[in-house]
Amino acid sequence: MTGYGLKDKVVLITGGGSGIGLATATAFAEQGARVAVADRNPAAAAAIAGDHAVDTTELDVTADGAIAGWVDAVADRLGGVDVLVNNVGLAPFRESFLSVTDEDWRSLLDVNFFAAVRASRAAIPYMIERGGGAIVSLASDAATQPDPFFVDYAVSKAAVLSLSKSLSMEFGPRGIRSNCVAPGPTATPAMDSFISSLSTELGKGFEETKEYFAKDMRKLPLGRMNDPADVAAVIVFLASDLARQVTGASYRVDAGSHVYL
């Protein structure tokens, strides 16, 4: 088998306006896919260069019925759904488990977990109509390497991992594959903001601080954090014909942080 087999496939991406989501939208567009992005700020995705226009929608994934409405509208405009990438997420720093309120838990799970539930529930019937499809959900190294300073984030990503495996079991016989990508530290806008704060605290330059964080704080064997494109490449692979026998899996893109498990 050669090629990704993604040309003209309809790909939906939540949180596709920046970071990993934007890199993923770009990577799918480069494969000739028909890409639809939902994001609070989708302007960057709309500006993806090349011959492949990206369908963009400004969307609050927590609004009642918003995700289902978006999936239905995209399926109507583009003719169905072949691939869903559950990417949208938040990762707030917490001082302690005791500092995380019920409302904190509810609001984070609404974005990080229930958005994936709602998008999958809306997209799967369209995939069944097509005779199959692929779901790729963003978990995290935190799903299996919990961090008390991101306790609710870690729990939400563990839930996404379990959801993905459950979907793979139920819908595999209908031709739908469901997999996760679990990134480690990645140079997204949120991570850049953290590195900037850390650089001020340490009195180091931005690039020096990135290297210090990767090598000395996280002790990543490869010595650097991910670029968003590193994660996007694995997402595209899992959605492609090259991974036609891969389902129920979780691919770590973490520069080797898992070796400390």
Please check whether residues 36 and 137 belong to one and the same domain: yes
Question: What are the strands of the beta sheet with 133-138, ordered from one edge?
Answer: 54-58, 34-39, 10-14, 83-86, 133-138, 176-183, 250-253
Please check whether residues 202 and 102 belong to one and the same domain: no
Per-residue pLDDT of the chain (261 residues; tens, 9 = 90+): 457 999 999 999 999 999 999 999 999 999 999 999 999 988 888 777 555 678 999 999 999 999 999 999 999 999 999 999 999 999 998 999 999 999 999 999 999 999 999 999 999 999 999 999 999 999 999 999 888 889 999 999 999 999 999 999 999 999 999 999 999 998 888 888 888 888 898 899 989 888 888 898 888 999 999 999 999 999 999 999 999 999 999 999 999 987 765
For residue 208, the enclosing domain spans 187-225
Please check whether residues 110 and 125 belong to one and the same domain: yes
**pLDDT of res. 218:** 85
Which H helix or E strand runs over 251?
strand 250-253
Whether residue 3 is contained in a domain is answered as no
Whether residue 2 is contained in a domain is answered as no
Please check whether residues 39 and 57 belong to one and the same domain: yes
- What is the CATH classification number for the domain harbouring 138? 3.40.50.720
Please check whether residues 169 and 61 belong to one and the same domain: yes
Whether 260 is catalytic: no
Whether residue 146 is contained in a domain is answered as yes
Please check whether residues 113 and 217 belong to one and the same domain: no
Tell me which of 153, 212, 251, 260 is the catalytic residue: 153
Whole-angstrom distance, CA of residue 256 vs CA of residue 198: 22
Please check whether residues 205 and 133 belong to one and the same domain: no
Please check whether residues 124 and 34 belong to one and the same domain: yes
Number of domains, the chain: 2
**pLDDT of res. 1:** 47
Would you state the structure tokens that stand for residue 17, as one six-digit string? 């306006």
pTM of the prediction? 0.94
Strand ranges inside the chain, DSSP E: 10-14, 34-39, 54-58, 83-86, 133-138, 176-183, 250-253
Please check whether residues 81 and 36 belong to one and the same domain: yes
